[in-house]
A and B are shown apart, each in its own frame.
Chain A
Amino acid sequence: MQHSSNADVQDQPLLAIEDLHLSTRSAVLVEGISLTVNRGEMVGLLGESGCGKTITALSVLGLLPKHAVKVSRGRILFEQTNMADLDETELNRIRGNRMAMIFQEPMTSLNPIMTIGAQIGEALEIHRKMAGRERKAEVKRLLGLVGLPSEDAQLQRYPFQLSGGQRQRVMIAIALACEPALLIADEPTTALDVTIQAQILDLIAEMRKRFGMACVMVTHDLGVIAETCDRAVVMYAGRIAEEGPVDDLFGNPIHRYTEALIGTIPAANPPGSRLPAIPGAVPPPGERPKGCAFAGRCNFAIDVCATETPPEVRRGAHAGYCWNPAS
């Protein structure tokens, strides 16, 4: 695919997800997600466990589990190319090159019996056709970049010899190897300690600045989004509940779910006080109610919530889907 510096193209969003539906044989997992990511932008994707964040991210790279989950409607445009039109070889040319991903589990996401040097070098070998000394030098440079020691001996280490934070750095080095235009980080810090989390988030922010890449930060942690992203999308039960600039989103949420979610954070409540809680649990795919999926748990639900799909409530760049929006 050709990659032009034409201003017109530069104005186009880097990634556009349009009305994406993902489903298994028996259930719809993700229903009508639309999302755009501009060049250099950091977008947060927020939602509870099981709401479909990971599979949405995977679908962007064409990495959905084979035979299990399919794109049933909608499309994904990356640099104006419809990903659905590409075959596996063409996808491979994009993956790891123009677009890269970091996964949630640093402990298992690296091949346990390959040295980290080989794992970082692989992307260079495939996309940059680098070999030998050149590749080695580049791998060392990348290691240095992510703050890992970059002596020769380090290249020969295996993942099991590294701590979780170090492994996540290796993952980042792999993702950055070919200076992608888009980085998708799927909960890159949930498995890590807070102090390490801070390091990793810092690192991602710094890399983004340095390479000017766009980034989708997938997480369930409001704080992470608030600290790192420009814009965020809140998902609930496979749908978008609300999206907008982070300040608006947290300052004046539209959707009652976002509002309740922010309310439950201990730090936002006086110590020892009773935390506002959201009763019940997220309905699993296949058992989602008709109207608003949150209606059953919402303290502000009105009759129509349970039957009709909620309308868009828009406040500038900030939009939510709610029948009874917070003011």
Chain B
Amino acid sequence: MLKRLRDRLIDLAIVIFGVSILVFGFIRMIPGDAVAIMLGANAEVTPERIAAIRTRLGLDLPIHEQYFVWVSNVLRGDFGVSIWTGRPVIEEIGHHVWPTLQLTLLALLTAIVLAIPLGILMANIRGRRGEAFVQAGSVIGLTVPPFWLGIIMILVLSTVAPSLQMLGYVPFTTDPIGNIQRLILPAFALSLPIMANLARLLRSTLLEAMQQDYIRTARAKGVPARRILYRHALRNAIIPFVTSVGIMAGYLLSGAIVIEQVFAIPGLGRLILGAIAERNYPLLQAAILLVTCSFVLINFLVDIVYTLIDPRITE
């Protein structure tokens, strides 16, 4: 158990190191110069002026030195300042983290809460009439583009309930009801594919669990069907379910990038897209590093949880 944990931690460190190199290298390879973009198309630009700004931003150093400067600063908790606004990057990210966090958590929660009964239903309907419909429905749920769904929902809702305040974002602390009200639609659009995915996963793991020999043993014991489902099958089926929740975090972040755009939510996705367009290197590096590391961390945690709920791994 401890060794497993240690191994996972080593892997984690390697991966995060790799991620940091990739993030840095990637961003620096993006063509287009921060300074040129910063000065805009209409500006009077002299080479000296560009050089001066480059020096100020530390962009004149060789790339590996820039990387070491960056990493050593990051390790000291200093992510630098945003090129454009001069604000500390941490602060900028801090503003954007909450909406995304809220949105993704809400979506994840919705997905999980709905996926479990749906998955059970789908497993139960196996072999009966209507299965094809439920199956097809779940595939639609999985493949409907969330942003398109979002737009259609906005379109429909604006005709059905035009006065509903559902756009934009207000912090939960200022207006809890307004906050939830505005997040419900995007969270739903975002959660639909995940819900479908999880429900389908649960269905197949449940069906698989129901085929296992130990279910037969339970039936031979005279355990009633409901109890078999909940005590025996579901508890086994939920293990892969939990692991895939970690993977879902990735889908969620991907989906959030687009959904934030549609619903005007000031989250990390918008921050990152904006930062790319502006070549705001420090901001972009920090934001992507944050997202990837948290994704890696989530999966690490899920792995730990997995270890905890599956007694077989503890050995």
A157 and chain B: residue at smallest CB distance: B311
Distance of A262 Cα from B44 Cα, bound (Å): 103
Residue-wise, chain B 182-217 has the 8 Å CB interface mask toward A (1 for contact) of 000000000000000000000000000000111011
Interface size on B, residues (CB 8 A): 24
B62 at the interface (CB under 8 A from A): no
A15 at the interface (CB under 8 A from B): no
CB neighbours (8 Å) of B216 from chain A are: 58, 63, 103, 109
Residue-wise, chain B 38-73 has the 8 Å CB interface mask toward A (1 for contact) of 000000000000000000000000000000000000
With A67-B127, A103-B213, A111-B236: A126-B222 Cβ-Cβ less than 8 Å: yes
Distance of A160 Cα from B310 Cα, bound (Å): 11
Distance of A97 Cα from B127 Cα, bound (Å): 31
With A111-B236, A113-B235: A122-B218 Cβ-Cβ less than 8 Å: yes
Interface size on A, residues (CB 8 A): 34
A105 at the interface (CB under 8 A from B): yes
CB distance from A65 to the nearest CB of B (A): 9
**Contact partner, A109, options B214, B310, B312, Cβ 8 Å:** B214
B210 and chain A: residue at smallest CB distance: A66
Residue-wise, chain B 290-315 has the 8 Å CB interface mask toward A (1 for contact) of 00000000000000000001111001
CB neighbours (8 Å) of B225 from chain A are: 88
CB neighbours (8 Å) of A105 from chain B are: 213
Which residues in chain A, 122-178, are within 8 Å of chain B measured between CB atoms? 122-123, 126-127, 158, 160-161, 171, 174-175
Distance of A179 Cα from B275 Cα, bound (Å): 72
Is the Cβ of A103 less than 8 Å from the Cβ of B222? no
Distance of A178 Cα from B227 Cα, bound (Å): 19
Report whether over half of chain B's contact residues are helix, strand or loop; otherwise say mixed: helix
CB neighbours (8 Å) of B214 from chain A are: 108-112
Is the Cβ of A95 less than 8 Å from the Cβ of B315? no
With A92-B223, A111-B232, A113-B235: A161-B218 Cβ-Cβ less than 8 Å: no
CB neighbours (8 Å) of B219 from chain A are: 61, 63, 95
Is the Cβ of B223 less than 8 Å from the Cβ of A122? yes
CB neighbours (8 Å) of B231 from chain A are: 114, 122
With A158-B311, A158-B312: A109-B217 Cβ-Cβ less than 8 Å: yes
CB distance from A107 to the nearest CB of B (A): 9
Residue-wise, chain A 57-95 has the 8 Å CB interface mask toward B (1 for contact) of 010010100010000000000000000000011011111
With A63-B216, A103-B216, A174-B217: A112-B222 Cβ-Cβ less than 8 Å: no
Distance of A152 Cα from B187 Cα, bound (Å): 48
CB neighbours (8 Å) of B224 from chain A are: 88-89, 92, 126
Which residues in chain A, 36-67, are within 8 Å of chain B measured between CB atoms? 58, 61, 63, 67
8 pairs of residues in contact across A and B, judged by CB atoms under 8 Å = A92-B222, A96-B222, A97-B222, A101-B220, A112-B312, A114-B235, A126-B224, A174-B217
Q: Which A residues are closer than 8 A to B by beta carbons?
A: 58, 61, 63, 67, 88-89, 91-97, 100-101, 103, 105, 108-114, 122-123, 126-127, 158, 160-161, 171, 174-175
Nearest 6 CB-CB pairs, A to B? Answer: A96-B222, A96-B221, A95-B222, A108-B213, A111-B214, A92-B222
